[in-house]
C-alpha cells in the first residue's frame, strides 16, 4: 500500500535530502561547539550558525542576523516571550484560535500575575476581523498575540492589518508563524511586530528540535531570558550578557539542528516561498472542491483558498474523527491527525469541542496523486456507510 | 598536520558513527512526530523516544523511564529545576565551583525572590569537604545543588556523601552530571537526589542539542514546568498535564537528537561506564605525570587521579592561556579551551580569576598518541621561551 502523508501541519515529511546530509556533514566534518574554543572546528561551527542565522534573517526580512534567536521549538519561543515580557496586572489580547503553546503558558501566567487576558473572538470559520483588535485595544495593553494561521482550519489571521493598528503604540506585538513560515509571506519588518516565533520542522523543511524567533530591538532590551547560563561570552559576569543573540541563547547549541534548518531554509529560498505556497494552495483548493462533492462531509474554516493555508479540517456526521483517521491509515495508508490538535480554543470557536475534527494538511512532498487518492478514499468510506 | 582534539569537556568528538546514522535513519525511515498522530510513523517515533528514555533510565538507575525528561541541554535542565522549585526567601546551598548554567539563573533568582544563597566553599584545588554541607545545612534549606565534577579542574565533588547527609530531610538535592555522565558512576538511586541534570553530547557521546534530567517523584509533583504547551495529551485542558514526562516536555520533540543520544548511550552501555572512565583516567594520569616533568607548568586541581575526571587545567607562568591555546592549535593542531570556561566562580576558587587557565580534556576518541604529542608540544613551547 502506498503511503500518503497528509499531516504536514504537524511536521514536514519527507524532508529535502539536503537536510539530513547537512546534519551528518556537521557531525562528521565539524562536530565541535561554536564560541567555546578558538580552534578551527569551533570557528567553523560558529560560521555555520551565523550562516543559518543570516539566511533566516533574509527569509524573514529582519534588519540584523542577531535579531534571529535560535530556540528548541516554537513552543519555547512563545513561552520565552510571554514569560519574559509580561508583568503583574498586564492586559493581553489573544485570538480565540491559539494553540496550547500560547494558551497553557498564558493560563498559568494569568493566575500568577493577575493578568487581564481578553480574547479577540474569531468568527465561526476561525477568521478574525481586525476591528476586534481596534475595539479591544487599550492604551495600557501590554501585548497582542496572534497566530498567523489556525493549525486546525488553516484560516489566516489579519496579522499585517493588526501590525498597522499597533504601529506607533507602546503595545508589544507577537506573531506565531508556526503554520506559515516557508509557505506564506512572513515579513518581520512589514508585520511591524516585536516577536516573530517560528519552528524549523514544518514549512521551513528542517528537522524537529530547532526553532526560533525574530525579536525587535525594543523587545530585546526589556524581555528577560527564559534560560540563563554559559554563552561563551563575558564569562566573568554572573549575570546574563545583555546583547543579541547571547541574551537568549545559553548552553551548547543544537548545531546539527541549525545545520539541518539551514539546508531547509536554503531549499525554501531557492524555490521561493510564493511558489511553494502556491503549489500547496492549488492542491488544497482541488481537495476542497472535491470534498464539496462528497455528501456527508462537513468542511470547517474559510471557504476562500486565499484565506487559508494548506490545512483543512473536516468531519463526517455520526463518525468519530479518531475512527475515521484510523480507517484512512489502516485501509488506505493515509496519515492524518484527529481530535483537538492541541488547540481546544480553536475547536470551541468552530463548535467542534470536545469531539474535534479530522485534519488534512499538505506540504512540500504532497502531490496531485495524493489528493486524488484521499478523495477516492473518502468517497468510498462515506458511500459504504 | 594531525589534529588532536583535547576539548572533550566542551563536547565529544569524533562521535561513534552510529550517532549520525541513527539521526539519519530517523529522518529517512520515520521522520514524523511522536504522540501527534495514530499512524505507524508517529507510533514508531514514540517507540524510539521511549527506547531512548528507557535506556537512560537503565544507565542512571532511575526506577521508571518516565522519570527521565528530555530537554534541549543541561543548561535548560538546571534552569528548569531552579526556576521550577525555588520560592521567595528560600535558602540555597551551592558549591563554589559551579558553572554559569547554575550561577547565572541563580543570581537572577536571588534578586527576584530574595533567596539566601550560601556557598559551600571548595578547597583551593576545587575539591569539597562534605562537612561543609553538614555545617551549613539548615532545617529550612530548600535546595542543595552540586556539580558532580568541576568543568575546569575535573575535581569530583562528594555527591554521594552529600546524598547521605540529605537523605530523609525536606531539602531538595540537585546534581549536575554534565561532566561525568558516561564516564563516572552516576546512579540516580544511590545519589538519593531529586534532580540529576545531564547533557547528551559529552560523555554520553550523542549530538549537541539534547540533554535531560532524572527527577524524583516528590520533586516532579511540586516543580513547575519551564515551558508549557502542546503535549499531545489532555489537549482539552488549558493547564499543563501534571504527569510525567508530559509535565516537562512541551512542543515537538528533538527526535533526531533523541535518536542520536540513544545510539550514544547504547555505545556507553555496551562498553561500560567503568571501562570508558578507566581508559580516560589512565590517559589523564599519564598526562599528569608528564606535566610534572615539564618545568614552568602549573597544574590545578586535585593531584589524585581517582579524585578527578579526564579534565586538567594548567598555566605557564608569564604566558597568557589564550596565547598558549592559539600556539597549540596553530603550530601543533592541538585543540584546547582557554579562559574562564563559563565558570568564573571555579576560577575564583582556584585563584585564577580573571586570567583563567588552559584546559585539556580527554574523552572517547582520545589516544595514548594524543598524550605523547601534547606533552612533546608543551615541552617544546616551554623550552623555547
As a CATH number, domain B4-14+272-384 is 3.90.1150.10
Chain A residues whose CB is inside 8 A of the B336 CB are 37, 39
Minimal CA separation from A42 to chain B, in Å? 9
pLDDT class of B262 with cuts at 50, 70, 90: very high
Report the residue of chain A nearest B70, measured CA to CA.
A209
Residues A269-304: tens digit of each pLDDT: 999 999 999 999 999 999 999 999 999 999 999 998
User: Is 80 exceeded by the pLDDT of residue A264?
Assistant: yes
Whose CA is closest to B296, among B277, B279, B312, B318? B318
Minimal CA separation from B186 to chain A, in Å? 21
A257 vs B260: CB contact, 8 Å cut-off? no
B329 vs A354: CB contact, 8 Å cut-off? no
User: Is 80 exceeded by the pLDDT of residue A376?
Assistant: yes
Instruction: State whether CATH 3.40.640.10 applies to domain A17-271.
Output: yes
Minimal CA separation from B107 to chain A, in Å? 7
User: Is 80 exceeded by the pLDDT of residue A177?
Assistant: yes
User: Is 80 exceeded by the pLDDT of residue A385?
Assistant: no
User: Is 90 exceeded by the pLDDT of residue A119?
Assistant: yes
Minimal CA separation from B170 to chain A, in Å? 25
pLDDT score of B174:
98
A208 vs B341: CB contact, 8 Å cut-off? no
Rounded alpha-carbon distances, angstroms, from residue A73 to A98, A149, A164, B51, B254: 16, 17, 28, 22, 9
Distance CA B253, CA A224 (A): 24
pLDDT score of A44:
96
Mean pLDDT, rounded, of chain B: 96
pLDDT cut 90: percent of chain B above it: 94
B72 vs A339: CB contact, 8 Å cut-off? no
Please compute the mean of the pLDDT values over residues B290-299 and round it to a whole number.
96
Q: What is the 3-state secondary structure (H, E, C) of A56-105?
A: HHHHHCCCCHHHEEEECCHHHHHHHHHHHHCCCCCEEEEECCCCHHHHHH
Chain A residues whose CB is inside 8 A of the B27 CB are 15, 19-20, 23, 207
Q: DSSP state, A184?
A: B
- Among A33, A42, A250, the residue with its CB nearest the CB of B208 is A33
B33 vs A24: CB contact, 8 Å cut-off? no
Size of interface A-B (CB pairs under 8 A): 292
User: Is 80 exceeded by the pLDDT of residue A36?
Assistant: no
pLDDT score of A234:
87
User: Domain coordinates of chain B in residue numbers?
Assistant: 4-14+272-384, 17-271
pLDDT score of B45:
97
User: Is 90 exceeded by the pLDDT of residue A8?
Assistant: yes
- Among A37, A209, A338, the residue with its CB nearest the CB of B257 is A209
Residues B169-221: tens digit of each pLDDT: 999 999 999 999 999 999 999 999 999 999 999 999 999 999 999 999 999 99
A238 vs B31: CB contact, 8 Å cut-off? no
Query: Which residues are bridge partners to A311 per DSSP?
Result: A361
User: Which runs of consecutive H residues, i.e. helices, occur in chain B?
Assistant: 17-25, 40-60, 74-85, 100-113, 131-136, 159-166, 188-191, 217-222, 255-271, 273-292, 321-332, 344-350, 368-384
B236 vs A340: CB contact, 8 Å cut-off? yes
Which candidate in B77, B87, B256 is best for mutational testing of the A interface (most A CBs within 10 A)?
B256
Report the residue of chain B nearest A25, measured CA to CA.
B20
pLDDT class of B64 with cuts at 50, 70, 90: very high
Residues B223-239: tens digit of each pLDDT: 999 999 998 888 888 88
Distance CA A364, CA A283 (A): 11
Q: DSSP state, B20?
A: H
pLDDT class of A43 with cuts at 50, 70, 90: very high
Query: Which residues are bridge partners to B143 per DSSP?
Result: B92, B172
- Among A11, A100, A235, the residue with its CB nearest the CB of B339 is A235
pLDDT score of B38:
84
Distance CA A283, CA A281 (A): 5
pLDDT score of A172:
98
Residues B71-112: tens digit of each pLDDT: 999 999 999 999 999 999 999 999 999 999 999 999 999 999
pLDDT score of A233:
84
pLDDT score of B235:
85
Which candidate in B39, B328, B340 is best for mutational testing of the A interface (most A CBs within 10 A)?
B39
Higher-pLDDT residue of A239 and B60 is B60
User: Is 80 exceeded by the pLDDT of residue B37?
Assistant: no
Chain B residues whose CB is inside 8 A of the A16 CB are none
pLDDT class of B57 with cuts at 50, 70, 90: very high
Least confident of A172-186, A224-238, A307-321, B309-323: A224-238
Distance CA A252, CA A232 (A): 9
- Among A7, A20, A251, the residue with its CB nearest the CB of B76 is A251
For every residue of B279-330, DSSP letters joined together read HHHHHHHHHHHHHHTSTTEEE-S-S-GGGB-SEEEEEETTS-HHHHHHHHHH
| Preceding omega of B354 cis (within 30 degrees of 0) | yes
pLDDT score of A232:
83
User: Is 80 exceeded by the pLDDT of residue B338?
Assistant: yes
Residue B111, classified by CB atoms within 10 Å of its CB into exposed (0-12), middle (13-18) or buried (19+), is exposed
Chain A residues whose CB is inside 8 A of the B341 CB are 235
Least confident of A78-87, A134-143, A166-175, B37-46: B37-46
A229 vs B19: CB contact, 8 Å cut-off? no
B229 vs A27: CB contact, 8 Å cut-off? no
With H, G, I as helix, E, B as strand and everything else as coil, classify residue B236: coil
Report the residue of chain B nearest A22, measured CA to CA.
B24
Alpha carbon A176 to chain centroid distance? 6
A37 vs B10: CB contact, 8 Å cut-off? yes
With H, G, I as helix, E, B as strand and everything else as coil, classify residue A181: strand
Chain A residues whose CB is inside 8 A of the B239 CB are 104, 107-108
A235 vs B107: CB contact, 8 Å cut-off? no
pLDDT class of A384 with cuts at 50, 70, 90: confident
In 10 A of CB B287, how many CB atoms? 25
Which candidate in B37, B145, B253 is best for mutational testing of the A interface (most A CBs within 10 A)?
B37
Residues B122-136: tens digit of each pLDDT: 999 999 999 999 999
A335 vs B32: CB contact, 8 Å cut-off? yes
pLDDT score of B385:
76
Q: DSSP state, B130?
A: T
Distance CA A216, CA A195 (A): 7
Q: How far apart are the first and last CA of chain B?
A: 23
For every residue of B66-110, DSSP letters joined together read GGEEEES-HHHHHHHHHHHH--TT-EEEEETT--HHHHHHHHHHH
A33 vs B11: CB contact, 8 Å cut-off? yes
Distance CA A230, CA A38 (A): 16
B235 vs A76: CB contact, 8 Å cut-off? no
The angle subtended at Cα A377 by Cα A376 and Cα A381, nearest 5°, is 120
Residues A204-229: tens digit of each pLDDT: 999 999 999 999 999 999 999 999 99
Sign of CA dihedral A106, A111, A115, A121: positive
Minimal CA separation from A56 to chain B, in Å? 19
Minimal CA separation from B234 to chain A, in Å? 8
pLDDT score of A96:
96
Rounded alpha-carbon distances, angstroms, from residue B161 to B97, B152, B194: 17, 22, 15
A100 vs B229: CB contact, 8 Å cut-off? yes
The interface predicted TM-score of the complex, written ipTM, equals 0.97
Amino acid at each position: 500500500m502506498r503511503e500518503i502523508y497528509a499531516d504536514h501541519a504537524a511536521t514536514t515529511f519527507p524532508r529535502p535530502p539536503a537536510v539530513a546530509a547537512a546534519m551528518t556533514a556537521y557531525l562528521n566534518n565539524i562536530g565541535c561547539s561554536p564560541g567555546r574554543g578558538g580552534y578551527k572546528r569551533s570557528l567553523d561551527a560558529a560560521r555555520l550558525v551565523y550562516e543559518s542565522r543570516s539566511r533566516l534573517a533574509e527569509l524573514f526580512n529582519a534588519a540584523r542576523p542577531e535579531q534571529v534567536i535560535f530556540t528548541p521549538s516554537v513552543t519555547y519561543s512563545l513561552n520565552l516571550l510571554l514569560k519574559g515580557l509580561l508583568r503583574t496586572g498586564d492586559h493581553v489580547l489573544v485570538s480565540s484560535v491559539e494553540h496550547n503553546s500560547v494558551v497553557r503558558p498564558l493560563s498559568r501566567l494569568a493566575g500568577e500575575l493577575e493578568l487581564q487576558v481578553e480574547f479577540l473572538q474569531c468568527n465561526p470559520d476561525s477568521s478574525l476581523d481586525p476591528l476586534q483588535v481596534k475595539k479591544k485595544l487599550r492604551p495600557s495593553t501590554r501585548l497582542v498575540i496572534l497566530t498567523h494561521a489556525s493549525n486546525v482550519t488553516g484560516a489566516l489571521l489579519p496579522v499585517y492589518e493588526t501590525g498597522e493598528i499597533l504601529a506607533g503604540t507602546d503595545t508589544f506585538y507577537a506573531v506565531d508563524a508556526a503554520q506559515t513560515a516557508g509557505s506564506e509571506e512572513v515579513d518581520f519588518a512589514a508585520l511591524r511586530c516585536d516577536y516573530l516565533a517560528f519552528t524549523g520542522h514544518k514549512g521551513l523543511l528542517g528537522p524537529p528540535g530547532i526553532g526560533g524567533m525574530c525579536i525587535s530591538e525594543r523587545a530585546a532590551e526589556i524581555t528577560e531570558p527564559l534560560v540563563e547560563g554559559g554563552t561563551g561570552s563575558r564569562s566573568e559576569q554572573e549575570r546574563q550578557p545583555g546583547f543579541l543573540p547571547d541574551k537568549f541563547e545559553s548552553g551548547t547549541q543544537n548545531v546539527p539542528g541549525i545545520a539541518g534548518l539551514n539546508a531547509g531554509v536554503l531549499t525554501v529560498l531557492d524555490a521561493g516561498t510564493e511558489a511553494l505556497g502556491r503549489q500547496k494552495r492549488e492542491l488544497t483548493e482541488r481537495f476542497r472542491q472535491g470534498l464539496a462533492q462528497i455528501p456527508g462531509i462537513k468542511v470547517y474554516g474559510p471557504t476562500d483558498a486565499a484565506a487559508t493555508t494548506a490545512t483543512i479540517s473536516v468531519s463526517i456526521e455520526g463518525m468519530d474523527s479518531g475512527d475515521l483517521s484510523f480507517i484512512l491509515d489502516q485501509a488506505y495508508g493515509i496519515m492524518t491527525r484527529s481530535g483537538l490538535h492541541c488547540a481546544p480554543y480553536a475547536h470551541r470557536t468552530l463548535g467542534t469541542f470536545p469531539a474535534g475534527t479530522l485534519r488534512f494538511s499538505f506540504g512540500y512532498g504532497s502531490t496531485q496523486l495524493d489528493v486524488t487518492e484521499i478523495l477516492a478514499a473518502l468517497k468510498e468510506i462515506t458511500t459504504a456507510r
